[in-house]
C-alpha cells in the first residue's frame, strides 16, 4: 500500500503541483492576449466545450511560457494538436470523476495549495500577487485545484487498488534488468601535491620526490614528507572514487596506471600532482534487497500507465469528440 501511494504521488501529484502553478504563474497572461481575439470553440467533448483561449493558455504552458500570447515561430500545428489532445483527455477524466461522484473537500484544496507554495518557495501573499497579475482570482484558482485533485482521486479509485506487485514480479524484473543495477566502477588513490605558489620550493621538493621514487621509497612516506595536499597523515590515501569525482586530468592519469604504480608529475595551474593507484574495483550488481523498493515502484508506475492508457482509449471510443481546429 505504501509503495502504491508513493507511486501515484509521483505520477499524478506532480501534475497537480507543477502544472497548476505553471498555469497560474506563467501561462495565464496568455489568456489576456487571446482575449483581444473573439473566442471560439476548438473542441467539443460530450457536453463540454474547449475554447481557443483555453488552448492558448495550455499551449503557453507546454512551451514554457512564450512571449505575448504564446504564439510564435515555435507554433506548429503538431504541437497545438498535442496540447489539444491533452485538454481533451483531462476533460474526459474530469467527466468520469464527476460521474463517479468523487468529491473534494475544502481541506484537501487547502493542503494542495500549501504544497504548491512550499514547493515553489512562495508566501501566500506572493501567490495572491501572482494570481492577481495574471487575472486569476483566488476562488478561480481553488476551483482549478479542485478539478485536478478530483482527477487524482479518480485515478486512485479506478486503478490503484487493483494493482498488486508480487515478490516474484520484482525478482523477475531484477534478473531481466540486472545491468541497470550495477554499481559504478571505482578506483582508490594516494595523492601527493606540491603547490606552485613558490616555484623554487616546488622544483626542490619535486626533485626530492622523484629521487625518492627512483631509490624505492614508499610513496606514502614521500607524501608524509613533502605533500601539501589532502590526507597527508594517511599517506595521501583519499579512498575510493567514481568517474567524475576527481579532476579529469587526475582521472585520465589514474586510468593508465596498474595497481601500485605511480604516475609521473601531473602539472596543473595550482601545482604538481603525483598519484598512486592503490586499487581498482569493477562495477558489481547491487543486492536485490537494496533495490527492490525502487523496482516495485517502477513496476507499479508501468502497470498504472498501461491501465490508464487502455481506459482512456476505450473511453474515447464511446465519447462524442469533435475537434474544430
What local confidence, expressed as pLDDT, does residue 134 receive? Answer: 62
pLDDT of residue 80: 83
Same domain, 42 and 127: yes
Residue span of the structural domain in which 198 resides: 184-281
At 135, the pLDDT band (50, 70, 90 cuts) reads low
In terms of domains, do 313 and 192 share one? no
Instruction: Give per-residue pLDDT as tens, 285-322.
Output: 999 999 999 999 999 999 988 998 999 999 999 999 99
| CB-CB contact of 260 with 279 (8 Å) | no
Same domain for 114 and 247, yes or no, is: no
148 and 217 share one domain? no
One domain, residues 140 and 193 = no
Q: Are residues 254 and 299 part of one domain?
A: no
176 domain residue, yes or no:
no
The tens digit of pLDDT for each residue in 1-43 reads: 444 334 444 444 444 444 444 444 333 344 444 444 568 999 9
Taking the C-alpha atoms of residue 23 and residue 62, their distance in angstroms, rounded to an integer, is: 10
Over residues 251-270, the pLDDT tens digits come to 999 999 999 999 999 999 99
Position 67 confidence tier, pLDDT thresholds 50, 70, 90 = very low
Distance of CA 285 to CAs 33, 43, 98, 282, Å? 55, 51, 47, 10
Mind listing the pLDDT tens digit for each residue in 159-216? 877 888 999 999 999 999 999 999 889 999 999 999 999 999 999 999 999 999 999 9
Is the domain of 140 the same as that of 189? no
Residue 88: CATH number of its domain: 1.10.4030.10
Residue 151 lies in a domain: yes
Number of structural domains (the chain) is 2
Same domain, 75 and 116: yes
Within the chain, where are the H helices?
2-8, 14, 20-22, 29-35, 52-62, 77-99, 106-119, 124-133, 138-159, 167-176, 199-214, 219-226, 248-255, 288-318
Claim to verify: residue 303 and residue 275 sit in the same structural domain: no
CATH number of the domain to which 221 belongs? 3.10.50.40
Residues 229-253 have pLDDT tens digits of 999 999 999 999 998 899 999 999 9
Report yes or no on 177 lying in a domain. no
Predicted local confidence at residue 146, as pLDDT: 86
Amino acid at each position: 500500500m505504501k509503495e502504491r501511494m508513493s507511486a501515484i504521488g509521483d505520477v499524478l501529484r506532480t501534475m497537480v503541483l507543477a502544472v497548476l502553478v505553471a498555469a497560474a504563474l506563467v501561462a495565464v497572461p496568455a489568456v489576456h492576449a487571446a482575449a483581444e481575439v473573439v473566442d471560439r470553440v476548438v473542441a467539443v467533448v460530450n457536453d463540454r466545450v474547449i475554447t481557443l483561449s483555453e488552448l492558448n493558455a495550455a499551449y503557453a504552458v507546454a512551451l514554457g511560457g512564450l512571449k505575448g500570447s504564446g504564439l510564435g515561430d515555435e507554433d506548429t500545428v503538431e504541437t497545438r494538436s498535442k496540447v489539444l489532445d491533452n485538454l481533451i483527455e483531462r476533460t474526459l477524466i474530469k467527466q468520469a470523476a464527476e460521474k463517479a461522484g468523487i468529491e473534494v473537500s475544502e481541506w484537501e484544496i487547502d493542503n494542495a495549495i500549501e504544497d504548491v507554495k512550499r514547493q515553489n518557495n512562495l508566501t501566500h501573499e506572493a501567490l495572491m500577487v501572482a494570481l492577481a497579475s495574471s487575472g486569476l482570482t483566488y476562488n478561480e484558482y481553488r476551483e482549478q485545484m479542485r478539478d485536478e485533485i478530483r482527477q487524482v482521486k479518480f485515478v486512485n479509485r479506478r486503478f490503484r487498488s487493483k494493482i498488486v506487485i508480487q515478490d516474484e514480479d520484482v525478482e523477475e524484473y531484477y534478473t531481466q534488468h540486472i545491468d541497470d543495477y550495477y554499481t559504478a566502477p571505482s578506483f582508490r588513490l594516494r595523492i601527493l601535491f606540491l603547490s606552485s605558489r613558490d616555484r623554487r620550493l616546488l622544483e626542490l621538493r619535486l626533485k626530492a620526490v622523484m629521487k625518492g621514487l627512483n631509490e624505492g621509497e614508499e610513496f606514502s612516506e614521500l607524501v608524509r614528507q613533502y605533500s601539501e595536499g589532502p590526507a597527508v597523515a594517511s599517506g595521501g590515501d583519499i579512498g575510493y572514487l567514481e568517474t567524475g569525482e576527481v579532476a579529469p586530468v587526475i582521472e585520465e592519469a589514474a586510468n593508465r596506471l596498474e595497481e601500485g604504480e605511480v604516475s609521473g608529475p601531473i602539472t596543473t595551474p595550482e601545482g604538481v600532482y603525483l598519484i598512486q593507484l592503490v586499487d581498482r574495483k569493477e562495477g558489481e550488481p547491487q543486492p536485490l534487497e537494496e533495490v527492490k523498493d525502487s523496482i516495485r515502484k517502477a513496476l507499479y508506475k508501468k502497470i498504472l500507465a498501461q491501465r490508464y492508457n487502455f481506459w482512456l482509449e476505450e473511453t474515447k471510443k464511446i465519447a462524442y469528440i469533435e475537434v474544430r481546429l
